[in-house]
């Protein structure tokens, strides 16, 4: 059974990276945390902090445990389809295990 792993982007340097694959939140469907991290790096996330702001910290943090996965795409325990827009989040991109992706724009 696959799970969804949520990556929350740190506002390192005072801005978010954003393109067709990456937004404030990136959610990856995978068999385990290791596979999710590999897929995350393929789409543009990085975990070495190279070039990030020294005072704000690293932009992305990798998944360390399979227990971090959820049965449905969620942010802080709430379904992405029920998540509202805030100053620091306007959308998420879900990368599914079959290679498709879905952008969810928060109302």
Determine the pLDDT at residue 93: 98
CA atoms within 13 A of residue 51's CA, in its CB half-sphere: 5
Alpha-carbon torsion 17, 21, 23, 28, what sign? negative
Determine the pLDDT at residue 12: 83
pLDDT of 51 strictly over 80: no
**pTM confidence score:** 0.94
Give mean pLDDT, residues 2-8: 97
Q: Which residues contact 90 (CB under 8 A, 6 or more apart)?
A: 23, 24, 105, 106
Total of domains in the chain: 1
Task: Tell me the per-residue pLDDT of 52-96, one tens digit each, with 9 for 90 and over.
Answer: 888 888 899 999 999 999 999 999 999 999 999 999 899 999 999
Domain that holds residue 39: 3-105
**Average pLDDT along the chain:** 94
DSSP conformational letter for 41: H
């Amino acid at each position: 059974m696959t799970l969804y792993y949520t990556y929350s982007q740190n506002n390192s340097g005072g801005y978010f990276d954003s393109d067709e694959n990456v937004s404030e939140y990136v959610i990856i469907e995978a068999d385990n945390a290791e596979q999710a991290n590999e897929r995350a790096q393929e789409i543009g996330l990085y975990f070495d902090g190279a070039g990030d702001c020294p005072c704000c910290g690293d932009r992305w943090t990798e998944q360390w445990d399979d227990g971090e996965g959820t049965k449905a795409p969620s942010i802080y325990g709430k379904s992405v389809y029920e998540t509202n827009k805030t100053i620091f989040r306007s959308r998420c991109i879900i990368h599914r295990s079959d290679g498709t992706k879905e952008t969810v724009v928060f109302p």
